[in-house]
Amino acid sequence: MNIAPRSYSVTRKRLMAAVASVAVAGAIGVGALTSGTSPVLADAVRVEAPQVPGFADVVERVSPAVVSVKVKAKISPAADDGSDPSDDQDGMNNLPNNPQLRRFFKEFRGFGDQDGQGGGNRRFSHRDRNNDQPRPVAQGSGFFISDDGYLVTNNHVVSEGSAFTVVMNDGKELDAKLIGTDPRTDLAVLKVDGVGKFTYVDFADDSKV
């Protein structure tokens, strides 16, 4: 049975509002009068914060689109062909003509000065360099950005890889291929083929919120 994919819209404003939201409550009391009359207490005053989605709610909504990425590489002296990744000025020459993918990378171009050392990513030491069999070299996370299997992860996670495995939210493992990388923004695109539709994250326009 095919299940229609779902997209979840997330904006930076909503995410910040979810983290910063607080409820304010107060009570004003009036002390007993010295004239012998009974104490009079004012009614409690409660100010409710605007109802915004909590951070946990946002995480729960997008979690079906989040995956783990396992990377393997052939570790051998011949693996280095001397090519210079800076020759690819755009970094995404292999990216398909997909408007959604193009829009995603256009929006994130402004963040290219970050150091790219995202949390939760692990790199493994290169052992047995004389063995040309693929060996684990890195592991990170990513998320789907389209229902046909395109997903985004960090460039520094996949940059030395030759084989890629995507671990779904339910634990299922799928082979993926590298579509393109952008070292300047530390982003990379992988593609999973032939297993139906995927739940993905759709970024909303902050200016329209």
Residues above pLDDT 90, as percent of the chain: 27
The residues, any chain, with a CB within 8 Å of residue 66's CB and separated by 6 or more, are 141, 142, 143, 169
């970094």: which residue's tokens? 91
The Cα 82–Cα 138 span in angstroms is 21
Name the CATH superfamily for 7-16+51-77+98-208. Trypsin-like serine proteases (2.40.10.10)
- Give the mean pLDDT of the chain: 67
Closest C-alpha among 192, 186, 185, 183 to residue 164:
192
The residues, any chain, with a CB within 8 Å of residue 44's CB and separated by 6 or more, are 25, 26, 27, 28
Q: Are 64 and 169 in contact (CB under 8 A)?
A: yes
Q: Give the residue with greater pLDDT, 171 vs 12.
A: 171
> Domain coordinates of the chain in residue numbers?
7-16+51-77+98-208
CA distances from 196 to 69, 122, 152 (A): 19, 29, 18
| SS3 category, 158 | helix
What's the pLDDT tens digit per position in 34-92? 444 555 555 554 545 555 556 566 667 788 899 999 999 876 554 444 555 444 444 55
Task: Quickly state the pLDDT bin for 4 (edges 50, 70, 90).
Answer: low
How many other CB atoms are there within 10 angstroms of residue 184's CB atom? 18
Q: Are 96 and 137 in contact (CB under 8 A)?
A: no
What's the pLDDT tens digit per position in 125-161? 444 445 556 677 789 999 999 999 999 999 999 998 9
Tokens read off for 172: 């299922």
